[in-house]
Structure 1
Amino acid sequence: MTTPYHHGALPAALLQAAEAILEREGIGALTMRGAAREAGVSHAAPSHHFGDLSGLLTALAASGFVRLREHVETEVAVAEPGRSAHLTALGRGYIGFARASPALFQLMFRSERLDWSNPVLSTAGAAAFSFLTLRETEGAVPIASHGIQSLMTATARWSLMHGLAMLLIDGRLGAMSDRVPGADVDTLIEHVLTCLVRQEM
Structure 2
Amino acid sequence: MTDGYHHGNLRAAVLKRAAEVIEEEGPHSFSLRSLAADLGVSHTAPRHHFGSREGVLNAIATEGFLILAERLRDNREAGGDFLETGVEYVRFAVDHPAHFQVMFTPTLLNARDPELAAARTAAFDELVTGADTVAEAAGDEPAAVVGGWSIVHGIATLALTGNLDSSGVRSLFGDADLIDITRRSAGLLFASPSPRE
Task: Bin the TM-score by the shorter chain.
Answer: 0.7 to 0.9
C-alpha separation in 2, matches of 1:71 and 1:26: 25
Q: Which residue of 1 aligns with 2:27?
A: 27
Q: Which residue of 2 aligns with 1:5?
A: 5
**5+ long unaligned stretches in structure 2:** 133-138, 193-197
Is the Cα–Cα contact under 8 Å of residues 32 and 43 in structure 1 kept in the other structure?
yes
Which of residues 145, 162, 174 in structure 2 aligns to 1:154?
A: 145
C-alpha separation in 2, matches of 1:181 and 1:19: 31
Is the Cα–Cα contact under 8 Å of residues 99 and 169 in structure 1 kept in the other structure?
yes
Is the Cα–Cα contact under 8 Å of residues 75 and 85 in structure 2 kept in the other structure?
yes
Which of residues 154, 157, 172 in structure 2 aligns to 1:163?
A: 154
Which of residues 62, 80, 86 in structure 2 aligns to 1:91?
A: 86
Deviates more, 1:90-99 or 1:25-34: 25-34
Q: Once superposed, what is the RMSD of the aligned Cα atoms?
A: 2.5
C-alpha separation in 2, matches of 1:193 and 1:153: 11
- Alignment of 1:197 with 2:194, yes or no, is no
Alignment of 1:38-187 (within 5 A): 38-79=38-79, 86-135=81-130, 149-174=140-165, 175-178=168-171, 180=172, 182-186=174-178, 187=180
C-alpha separation in 1, matches of 2:124 and 2:75: 15
Q: Which residue of 1 aligns with 2:195?
A: none
C-alpha separation in 2, matches of 1:181 and 1:93: 20
The TM-score with structure 1 as length reference comes to 0.79
Is the Cα–Cα contact under 8 Å of residues 73 and 93 in structure 1 kept in the other structure?
no
C-alpha separation in 2, matches of 1:157 and 1:193: 7
Is the Cα–Cα contact under 8 Å of residues 95 and 161 in structure 1 kept in the other structure?
yes
Cα gap change, 1:94 to 1:37, in 2 (>3 Å): same
Give the AA of the match of 1:114: L
Cα gap change, 1:136 to 1:153, in 2 (>3 Å): closer
Cα gap change, 1:136 to 1:52, in 2 (>3 Å): closer
C-alpha separation in 2, matches of 1:197 and 1:136: 9
The TM-score with structure 2 as length reference comes to 0.81
C-alpha separation in 1, matches of 2:74 and 2:150: 21
Percent identity, aligned pairs only, is 34
Is the Cα–Cα contact under 8 Å of residues 37 and 43 in structure 2 kept in the other structure?
yes
**5+ long unaligned stretches in structure 1:** 80-84, 138-147
Is the Cα–Cα contact under 8 Å of residues 98 and 105 in structure 1 kept in the other structure?
yes
Is the Cα–Cα contact under 8 Å of residues 148 and 186 in structure 2 kept in the other structure?
no
